Amino acid sequence: MRLEGKSAVITGAGNGIGRDTALLFAAEGAAVAAVDLNEGAVNNTVSEIMAGGGTAIPIVADVSKDDDVASMIAAAEEAFGRVDVVFNNAGIMHSDDGDAVGTEEAIWDLTMDVNAKGVFLGCKYGIPALRRAGGGSIINTASFVAHLGAATPQVAYTASKGAVMAMTRELAVVHAREGIRVNALCPGPLRTELLMSFLDTEEKKQRRLVHVPMGRFGEAAEMAKAVLWLASDDSSYVTGTEFLVDGGITAAYVTPE
């Protein structure tokens, strides 16, 4: 098992990538602190882990709140004695997020608070915990849209994920000599509730899919396997990367004839 003896904090663990990653990490031997704002959803994730013989605790937290994130890391250390992996995954994609002209300031602020500040706070409190553990791995969820821009406008989301990528690169350089690796996961379009609720018409879905060489949406379970690699010692010489798991979309972003 690739994470045996390690403990991990995973935000957004109530559904999507976070949930699938929590289940996979537990199956690979990790003790998991599953974090989500939705108490029912995160309790379901933890119940499934426990039913499978794994170790996990649920934590209800708002990643945009300093006190919540500090308490989240403290709770994981208290429960497991150490934190080896932090997966800053929680994020939102608001239905009212559009272009720069049409997007309201409140939507911009909310998106930045969760998607960018949430990652910042996860690193702010996660890095000292990893130091106490003698090193470890941080994975921050960014997106392919930070590389390309989105065919369906979502300016706040795209900008927030660009911030995550820039933050990841800097923290990777700053903390490399401490044995702390920091990488960004950049998923392509996924068949998750988050994206499907945003691409709420067949036309919007096809505007994304037409650019994906593999011709389909990715699955959360596929992202979880990528996160597992970044969390494990298999990626021990990997830091500061933008790990694209995107069905080839960034290699061939073209307009159909």
Half-sphere exposure of 109 (CA within 13 A, CB side): 3
Q: Identify the active-site residue in 125, 157, 237, 253.
A: 157
**What whole-number distance in Å separates Cα of residue 37 and Cα of residue 130?**
23
Q: For residue 198, which of 138, 139, 132, 152 has the smallest C-alpha distance?
A: 152
Q: For residue 246, which of 222, 210, 221, 224 has the smallest C-alpha distance?
A: 222
**In the numeric block, which tokens belong to residue 170?**
């800097």
What does residue 109 show for φ and ψ, rounded to 5 degrees? -65, -45
Q: For residue 245, which of 163, 157, 185 has the smallest C-alpha distance?
A: 185
> Which residue reads 């021990």 in tokens?
236
**What whole-number distance in Å separates Cα of residue 207 and Cα of residue 221?**
23
Does the annotation mark 157 as catalytic?
A: yes
Q: For residue 52, which of 25, 17, 73 has the smallest C-alpha distance?
A: 25
Q: Where in the sequence numbering do the catalytic residues fall?
A: 157
